[in-house]
Structure 1
């Protein structure tokens, strides 16, 4: 269902059992002498998520470069860009797009109408999800991308991003503008279930079982708004990411790529797309 995926877009939880997993979601993509290792991972974690499955560290050690979806920037320009995407323009506001029951729900969660009226739904959802992550003691520094970024920089590996903050935040903005009420309602339900639901979701992902992980993330019946969200944030977007992976494969370096696990699952995931484009794809 969307709740599994939508919450994981903002934060991903872990169960202690994951520390004992032997094989993460990892694929070897190759063409001739060009090799790329593609890992499906998590953006936030806890100390008990480590050590990671051994196949991930082996592939990272064998790589000369690391690529992730986005490397956050904290510059005046980046902050100005985020602010422009986060706020409605003058004359527009949240109350013109969100139902009264959902506005009331925001008030009960501590948001004052005077402070939220200019805020777009995707920003409010981001704040709510991040607050939930903090309360459950999950950290972005312990996410897989951050973990390998730190290691890559320590070891002098090449580091690249496949996309940028503006593009990704614009996707979130567009998704929430299409169905603000429905996606906010799902957000509210997510928050109530986060402590029990997300550990099960991520246990499935990091078990290395593709079918189980795909069923947990994408398998249940979804509303049209949920289908559009999945397509925008994962399936259609995978075509863009596949182009980026092809660019990496055209270099003379071996790459280790870490992306949200949702990008590597189902027949619209990156392993299948790259196989359809003529690359050799194997589980590592």
Structure 2
């Protein structure tokens, strides 16, 4: 009788760019991770051992001192409540989601659409078993801090707030409406994307990202395309120096139209996937 099958070794994709005096390893992250999921490949430990620095979206996950002010300034719109922007069916869908979490609809009504989307997305991730304190980027930062490896950020918390809050209201409403309508379906998709990525299969993530690019073009341009250009600029700056760097930003930035690897290859770099 055969013995139990050994657990499959995680093989999430790693992209590498090398020149004469520098090496940049690039991996994808999620800002929340499902409890008990083994995602870390053996290669990551080797990369961290060799890394001179680590680059994340944010250098720190501590909320800024002015967080409340940022939320009040760019996340709230009592003069344009959601109930004046969404139709009755959409409001009913939103209320159903909030009721499942014991959140009063009235407490959401003054949120700007982008901030309501962010809160609903967080609820969706928690529903799907993701831990807000278990993000891959948090794990990498913790490891790097304990190893004494400098951690830098491509963006700041304030810049991310500005990026999201700066979207046209129509774009914000599009993504909020889709999130409400596809809430249950999206929970399943999130798990499928994660499990496929851990196995080294990007096809599920590529398909979902392509759908976002097609159905929510304005949102995709702001959240992915424009930021991917910024990440690519930052990686070029890293390559102008020397040493070994680990770049770890969200999974969605490595696939789809105008992904980081695609942008860098268009700029003449050889990007190897390992």
Query: TM-score of the superposition, structure 1-length normalised?
Result: 0.81
Aligned mates of 1:114, 1:212 — CA distance in 2: 37
Task: Name the CA shift for 1:64/1:151 in 2 (closer, same or farther; >3 Å).
Answer: same
TM-score (norm 2): 0.84
Which of 67, 73, 79 is matched with 2:62 structurally? 73
2:255 match? 265
Contact 1:98 1:180 in 2 (8 A): no
User: Does residue 246 of structure 2 align to residue 236 of structure 1?
Assistant: no
Contact conserved, 1:22 with 1:55, CA < 8 A, in 2? no
1:192 to 2:184 alignment: yes
Q: What is the rounded CA distance, in whole Å, between the counterparts of 2:129 and 2:201 in structure 1?
A: 26
- For residues 211 and 137 of structure 1, the distance between their equivalents in structure 2, rounded to whole angstroms, comes to 22
* CA deviation vs aligned residue, 1:180-217 (integer Å, no higher than 9, x gap): 44322221234222443222122222222344531243
Contact 1:141 / 1:147 at 8 angstroms: preserved in 2? Answer: no
Could you tell me how far 1:106 is from its partner in structure 2? 2.8
How far did 1:22 drift? 4.0
Flag the 1:251–1:134 CA change in 2: closer, same or farther, 3 A.
same
How has the CA–CA distance of structure 1 residues 250 and 82 changed in structure 2, closer, same or farther, with 3 Å as cutoff? farther
How much has 1:63 moved relative to structure 2? Answer: 0.9
Q: Please give the alpha-carbon distance, in whole angstroms, between the structure 2 residues aligned to 1:137 and 1:152.
A: 26
Q: Say whether 1:133 aligns with 2:125.
A: yes
Please give the alpha-carbon distance, in whole angstroms, between the structure 1 residues aligned to 2:121 and 2:212: 22
User: Displacement, 1:149?
Assistant: 0.6
Deviation at residue 94 of structure 1 after TM alignment: 2.7
Select the residue among 6, 13, 32 that pairs with 1:25.
13
C-alpha distance in structure 2 between counterparts of 1:242 and 1:187, whole Å = 29
Structure 1: state its 5+ residue gaps: 1-18
As a proportion of its length, which structure holds more helix? Answer: 1
3-state DSSP class of the match of 1:162? strand
**Alignment of 1:106 onto 2:105:** no
- After TM superposition, list the pairs within 5 Å mapping 1:18-167 onto structure 2: 20-70=8-58, 71-88=60-77, 91-108=79-96, 109-110=98-99, 112=104, 114-167=106-159
Considering only aligned residues, what root-mean-square deviation do their CA atoms show, in Å? 2.5
Residue 237 (structure 2) aligns with: 247
SS at match of 1:49: coil
Whole-Å separation in 2 of the counterparts to 1:21 and 1:216:
25
- Long gaps (5+) in structure 2: 1-6
**1:212 & 1:21 partners in 2: Cα distance?**
19
